[in-house]
Chains A and B, each alone.
Chain A
Amino acid sequence: MLTLRSKKASAPDWPAYMASQAERVKDPRLARFYAGGTLDPQMPIGEAPLLAMDFETTGLDGSRHDIVSIGLVPFTMERIRPAAGRYWVLSPRRPLSDESVAFHHITHSEVEKAPDLSTILDELLERLQGHLVVAHYRQIERSFLDAAIRERLNENLLFPMIDTMSIEARIHRQSWWARLRRWAGRPMASIRLNESRQRYNLPPYTGHHAQVDALATAELLQAQILHHHTLETPVSELWR
């Protein structure tokens, strides 16, 4: 609980940030997106329109690697709607390594025909608008999207996200109980997507596909909220 409070103190004032960005950015698409603002910080999570987002990338460093696919699945605490989701394979600026082909099941030929991120940016922003984005390990989604936009438009794209992995980490890594376990030399609980899901009796899915992982993330958040929060928890307590 102590850790949670210190984190809360460091949570940025997202509505203010979005408003100032709306004034600052020159690209009209980004300006429109920022002007759309965030959800009301006091909105209960149980009422929030959410959007699970997952990227598959060529590596882990946003400045050197690229996004190869994006999966989106819209949901609320009541329903996850895969049919309303969206999936894109994108063309990376740098060639795809054979290892990442094997890992993501995306082939060279698929990537060759794929569009560049800039061509889908309109639709992507439109889908993000009005939703609170949920990702597992938001560092990837946030830094890769920001880097990709900076590279193409020389501007920032940052917005609030809920990170299911940090929710999991708070419970299994940063609680006093988890620290005690570590101090006693017990292995740390895994907070990877699939291992986290198992703790909530969620079924295993075929991993490493942006669309499947987005769906898996949506289910995980529903489970986490029910187990560790309430439907009344304001979104600002969860977003970072």
Chain B
Amino acid sequence: MNIEQLDIRSHMAQFPPFDSLADEHLDRIASDVEIRYYQAGSELLSKDQAIDALWYVRSGAVEVYQRSGRLFNRLSEGDIFGYSDLLRSNRKVRYPVSAIEDTLIYFIPGETFEAVCEEDDDFSEFVETGGQRLKVTVQQQRDDSGLMTTRVRKLITKAPLMVDATTTLQEAAREMSDANATCVLIVDVTDTQSAYTFTGRDGRYWQLNGILTDRDFCTRVLAEGKSPQTTVGEVMSRKVIVTQSDESVYEAMLSMLRNQVHHLPVLHRRQPMGILHLSDIVRHETHSSLFLVNNIFVQTTPAQLARLADEVRTGFVRMVSDGANSEMISRALATIGRAFIQRLLELAEAELGPPPVPYCFMVLGSMAREEPTITADQDNALVLHDSYDHAQHGEYFESLAKFVCDGLAGCGYPYCKGDVMAINPRWRQPLTVWKQYFTQWMDEPNGERLLHSSIFFDLAPVHGEAPMVEALQDLIAELAPQRPVFLAALARNAKNRTPPLGFFRQFVMEQDGEHRKSINLKRRGTAPLTDLVRVHALACGSNSQNSFSRLNDIDKTKLLAEGVTDRLRYAFEFMSMVRMRYQAASIERSEEPNNSVDPEQIDSRERHNLKDAFEAISNAQKFLSFRYIMPSRQDGTQGKSSSRGGR
């Protein structure tokens, strides 16, 4: 290597991802470098320009812009850019780059870049995940809310409840009840100071010996038939999983998942500081989205609301990169979506006047299940009070529906392609008509009609008189278990969309809109899964809407074999997470997020998991045919529907 290349090499060696490269790769990169000087203010890369090298900022500073012209990232000495364009097949620039200072660029030729990517996994991972991509934009939002950066101590609000081992269960329970605590720590005095002791307020040495949670009172006390006079020391869990107060919330969450606990005593060194409960983390995570929700409620026009749509997307990307799980992200998105609807209805009522009769605005489909992703469109309907008179009130609710649906479209929730929206007069009806709709769907399930209407079997009130929608939920939960023809038809529909697995467990690809081979994770994964969960949930009379809650309800019956619901939960969580990660990555690249993934771009371990998830769905679909058999028309047991046929 020439000496001037040593200079180049030693500079690169200070910065990621080069700092962790093997010497031979670093040598290769440094000896292939080409150089160019750019004056402040000049454009380094323009959109759609061909790119053949990785750009490395040796000195100076540059700015990267999104297509919209918004600042995307600011890079300086030691930063690289252009890699995401290099990884694309057409190798064209998506984001223009300009110099904000006089800048010296080192170019790493595309071939060298590819060769090193090929041989060094860490390097390719860095460029593929875009290690520093959102340095500026994301970091700012991450500052005070990220799971990665927030310390556990920030979530602790009160001291833990502590008793000694001789305390009786009854006394402990009373103290928990008084302190409104869901668990108690068992601590005892020891004579000598050791690696396990802390100094109490009384100056004596104490040691944390066990924990007893409200769940333990159920499993270890009641289920075992222990007397209230038993001491806590006798039944407590001695294996106490703890976390340190300066640990990140993310690590604490992982620890809970790993150890299957919901309570995590938080220690400062060895002194118990408080208890972290899983719900604290969920609340914390929702809190950062609460900011946005709060913001929604202070906007005064639909146009102002529409301006918040971008924030929803950045919030989504942040949650994904913070490592939140799909359930947390979906619930946050659902909360935000509901807030938009509520605010739009408030604004509509302010404009149109108070409603002439009570109503309830309900959401359907993924929003009702609290499982939307960032691509969710709007599915909604209006339930009106039975005192509704079309001639008198029709115009008001038509305007109200239009106000909300148009407003939602402006806020990034596209109109429903199937026209399941409150602006459709068919879905703007009094409660009695809705009850007839549902009764008819369940009594006379017609394949085509069901396909169209299965979306209505996930429903939730958003604004107005919630009891009207709850009455519909109860009606469904009551009737469905007694309608075998309906369930069989629903089961048959749930098998229409099959997971994309071939005979030898290979992926069956489809062509997406841009003619790339891909798998649609919604159509072939999460949607069939929610479909089949819905069948079982309706069969066992559950009125839950969320798929995880439905699986919990199914667990209470013996409808599915042991372990099946766990596999389905895992499959759902995994597919949802992969889907969300892809969507977040699309947003980061300024592309429109969708539901397609390219299996080639998933690492082999995840590919394996994805196949397992698909297989779990496939098996569960097969079980549907056994479980919900279409009764023959002659001996139909379905009351009045039997005579009219149940196809």
For residues 25 through 49 of chain B, which have their beta carbon under 8 Å from a beta carbon of chain A?
Answer: 31-39, 42
**A82 and B102 contact, CB distance less than 8 A:** no
Chain B neighbourhood of A206, CB < 8 A? 3, 7
CB-based contact B3/A201 at 8 Å: no
Q: How many residues of A contact B (CB 8 A)?
A: 28
What chain A residues lie within 8 Å of B451 (beta carbons)?
none
Nearest residue, chain A, Cβ from B107: A79
Decide: A226 and B37 in contact? CB cutoff 8 A: yes
B3 to chain A: which residues have CB within 8 Å?
Answer: 87, 206, 209, 211-212
Contact check, B5 vs A82: say whether CB atoms are below 8 A apart. Answer: yes
C-alpha gap A140/B38 in the complex (Å): 29
Min Cβ gap B602→A in Å is 36
Structural contact, B34 and A219, CB atoms closer than 8 A: no
A81 within 8 A of B: yes
Determine the residue in chain A with the shortest Cβ distance to B58. A203
| 0/1 string, A70-97, CB within 8 A of B gives 1 | 0101010011111101010000000000
- Whether A209 pairs with B59 at a CB distance below 8 angstroms is no
Smallest distance from the beta carbon of B424 to chain A beta carbons, Å?
Answer: 60
A213 to B8, CA, bound (A): 13
Q: How far is the CB of A50 from chain B (nearest CB, A)?
A: 13
Report yes or no: B102 in contact with A200, Cβ–Cβ below 8 A: yes
Name the interface residues of B57-101: CB closer than 8 Å to any CB of A: 58-60, 101
Do A82 and B4 have beta carbons less than 8 Å apart? yes
Of A82, A202, A209, the residue contacting B33 (CB under 8 A) is: A82
> Is B4's CB under 8 angstroms from A83's CB?
no
Docked pose: A108 CA to B35 CA in angstroms: 33
* A215 interfacial by beta-carbon distance below 8 Å: yes
In whole angstroms, what is the CA distance A214 to B5 when docked?
Answer: 12
**Interface pair B35/A82, CB less than 8 Å apart:** yes
A152, CB-defined interface residue at 8 Å: no
- Contact-size category for B: 20 to 34
* B306 contacts A by Cβ under 8 Å: no
Q: Is A203's CB under 8 angstroms from B107's CB? A: no
Query: A87-B2, A226-B37 in contact; A201/B32 too (CB < 8 A)?
Result: no
Is residue A171 contacting chain B, with contact meaning CB distance below 8 A? no
CA–CA, A81 and B107, complex, Å? 10
Q: Check A222–B4 contact: CB distance below 8 A.
A: no
Please, which residues of chain B bring their CB within 8 A of the CB of A215? 4, 35
Given contacts A80-B35, A80-B36, A219-B37, contact A201 B5 (CB under 8 A): no
Q: Do B36 and A222 have beta carbons less than 8 Å apart?
A: yes
Judged by a CB distance under 8 angstroms, whether B104 is at the interface is yes
Does B286 lie at the interface of the complex (its beta carbon under 8 Å from any beta carbon of A)? no
A200 to B42, CA, bound (A): 14
Question: Among the listed B32, B38, B39, B102, which residue makes an inter-chain contact with A83, where contact means beta carbons less than 8 Å apart?
Answer: B32
A48 located at the interface, meaning its Cβ lies under 8 Å from any Cβ of chain B in the complex: no
Interface bits B169-212 vs A (CB < 8 Å: 1, else 0)? 00000000000000000000000000000000000000000000
Besides A82-B5, A82-B35, 13 other A-B contacts (C-beta < 8 A): A79-B35, A82-B2, A82-B4, A82-B34, A83-B5, A83-B34, A201-B60, A201-B103, A206-B7, A212-B3, A223-B102, A226-B38, A227-B39
Q: List 27 A-B contacts (CB under 8 A).
A: A75-B35, A79-B35, A82-B5, A82-B31, A82-B35, A85-B2, A87-B2, A87-B3, A200-B102, A201-B59, A201-B60, A201-B101, A202-B37, A202-B102, A202-B104, A203-B58, A205-B7, A206-B3, A206-B7, A209-B4, A218-B35, A219-B35, A222-B37, A223-B37, A223-B39, A223-B102, A227-B39
Chain B contacts to A: CB under 8 angstroms: 2-5, 7-8, 11, 31-39, 42, 58-60, 101-104, 107
Using a CB–CB cutoff of 8 Å, the interface residues on chain A facing chain B are 71, 73, 75, 78-83, 85, 87, 200-203, 205-206, 209, 211-212, 214-215, 218-219, 222-223, 226-227
